[in-house]
Amino acid sequence: MLVRLAAASLWARALTVGMTILAIALSVALFLGVEKVRTGAKASFANTISGTDLIVGARSGSVQLLLYSVFRIGNATNNVTWDSYLDLADRPEVDWIVPISLGDSHRQFRVMGTTTDFFDHYKYRRDRGLVTAQGAIMDDLFDAVIGSDVAATLGYSVDDPIVVAHGIASFTEHKDQPFRVSGILEKTGTPVDRTVIVSMEAIEAIHVDWRSGAKIPGQTTPPDEIRQMDLTPKAVTAALVGVTSPLKTFSLQRAVNEYREEPLLAILPGVALQELWGIVGIAETALLAVSVMVVVTALIGLMATIFSSLNERRREMAILRAMGASPWTILALLVLEAALTAAVGAVLGVALLYGVLAVAQPMVDAAFGLFLPITPPSLAELWVLLGVIAAGAIVSMVPAVRAYRLSLSDGMTVRT
């Protein structure tokens, strides 16, 4: 009966209580939403590259190698010679190996030279492969496959010409050897979306007339002539490696790191990703802290609502006291009301979150490549909800204790 009366009392103040519930619901939805985005982003990040056992590059730091080889951020300090690459490819532990060559750009996007094996072996989000949305992967020497962001930003479609610039943020262009967009990849949510992919030979081809980073004055080899040339690469920036058995990953890593001909570094992408997340993860903590503050603000709002209702409810409390309710019952009633309010707010918040998720999930995936899984609330999220309800009950103790004191001093008479 008391629970029913508490509910009826809340219902009688539907407008103010409704506003409080809405504030709690929004804060809970925000908190859980941030949590979803955070875990989604973390999972997306960790799944930027999967299925690759080792990334091999010139010796630097593991995060740096990961940054330039996978995220196309920063530059390699050095290259891996083609001979070393072939040595590595010949090792028995190597199941497959894909070279990548970086250094040129197109507008704000990086150009990456690789082989068509890249499209078979580069996986993201566990087992998803690269798929062309339009056109096909490169067939000709001067074909380029572009990521979805490149196409969307620059408005490219299949068969459009592309001129690659030498270096990054450079005004010197490889105008003599224009490329053709042969295919556009589907959105992946990985750095591939922002990459122009050409063949290893193409990288060599556009540098035929270049020496030591500068164009040889007056020399312009026609494309047809280039096609006849030996375009075997002299170096690669890094290589993605798959091993024959997971057990051999570490022995191959050691072998690469101890390679005598050249200082090389082999990294486990998963471990390096974890390391990198440790650096960028500070932002997630900040985000979480902000959403916690929002929940706290909503709960303080709840406390303020109870406080402001106390005076108009002194009569109600006096009636309950006259009927034999102890001051503790009055206190318990207020705490119960607050817990009910917080509970309704929390449940509404969850409903709101799932509603928004259901609508926004495909859009977020398409726009940011961020996949937000719609799963039942996890145990941790249920704890959060319980925590919000408990916190609601706890903050209501402050006005409830005041109500307790008032009901003691008022007795059955109300002096306002």
Partner 1 sequence: MGAAAIDLHGVAFHWPGRGAFGLSIPSLTVAPGETVLLLGDSGSGKSTLLSLICGTVVAQSGTVAVAGTDLAGLSGAGRDRHRADHVGVIFQQFNLLPFGTVQDNILLPLRFAPNRRQRCPDPRKTAAQLCAALGLPDGVLVQRAASLSVGQQQRVAVARALIGQPPILVADEPTSALDETSQAQFLDLLFGQVAAQGSTLVMVSHDPRMAPRFDRVLSMADVIQKGAA
3-state secondary structure the chain: CHHHHHHHHHHHCHHHHHHHHHHHHHHHHHHHHHHHHHHHHHHHHHCCCECCCEEEEECCCHHHHHHHHCCCCCCCCCCEEHHHHHHHHHCCCEEEEEEEEEEEEECCEEEEEECCHHHHHCEECCCEECCEEEECCCCCCCEEEECHHHHHHHCCCCCCEECCECCCCCCCECCCCCEEEEEEECCCCCHHHHEEEEEHHHHHHHCCCEECCEECCCCCCCHHHHHHCCCCCCEECEEEEEECCHHHHHHHHHHHHCCCCCCEEEECHHHHHHHHHHHHCHHHHHHHHHHHHHHHHHHHHHHHHHHHHHHHHHHHHHHHHHCCCCHHHHHHHHHHHHHHHHHHHHHHHHHHHHHHHHHHHHHHHHHHCCCCCCCCCCHHHHHHHHHHHHHHHHHCHHHHHHHHHHHHHHCCCCCC
Residue 92 or 324 having the CB closest to partner 1: 324
Q: Does residue 3 bind partner 1 (CB under 8 A)?
A: no
Question: Stretches 58-66, 183-191, 266-274, 321-329: which one binds partner 1 (CB under 8 A)?
Answer: 321-329
Question: Which one among 167, 213, 373, 411 touches partner 1, defined by CB under 8 A?
Answer: 411
Cβ–Cβ < 8 Å for 88, 56? yes
Residue count, binding to partner 1 (CB under 8 A): 26
Cβ–Cβ < 8 Å for 328, 404? yes
* Closest approach of partner 1 to the CB of residue 286, in Å: 44
Q: Does residue 287 bind partner 1 (CB under 8 A)?
A: no
Cβ–Cβ < 8 Å for 196, 162? yes
Provide the residue type at 191 as one letter. P
* Closest approach of partner 1 to the CB of residue 337, in Å: 12
Residue 362 or 411 having the CB closest to partner 1: 411
Question: Stretches 20-28, 354-362, 364-372, 404-412: which one binds partner 1 (CB under 8 A)?
Answer: 404-412
Residue 1 or 363 having the CB closest to partner 1: 1
Residue 222 or 324 having the CB closest to partner 1: 324
* Closest approach of partner 1 to the CB of residue 50, in Å: 58
Cβ–Cβ < 8 Å for 34, 372? no
Question: Which one among 46, 152, 325, 394 touches partner 1, defined by CB under 8 A?
Answer: 325
Residue with tokens 């002539």, as numbered in its chain: 225
* Closest approach of partner 1 to the CB of residue 22, in Å: 21
Residue 236 or 317 having the CB closest to partner 1: 317
* Closest approach of partner 1 to the CB of residue 319, in Å: 6
Give me the 169-208 binding string for partner 1, x by CB under 8 A, dash otherwise. ----------------------------------------
Give me the 291-320 binding string for partner 1, x by CB under 8 A, dash otherwise. ------------------------xx-xxx
Residue 163 or 310 having the CB closest to partner 1: 310
Residue 231 or 401 having the CB closest to partner 1: 401
Question: Stretches 228-236, 301-309, 327-335, 337-345: which one binds partner 1 (CB under 8 A)?
Answer: 327-335
Give me the 4-23 binding string for partner 1, x by CB under 8 A, dash otherwise. xx--xx-xx-----------
Residue 36 or 313 having the CB closest to partner 1: 313
Residue 34 or 338 having the CB closest to partner 1: 338
Residues making contact with partner 1 (CB under 8 A): 1-2, 4-5, 8-9, 11-12, 315-316, 318-329, 409, 411-413
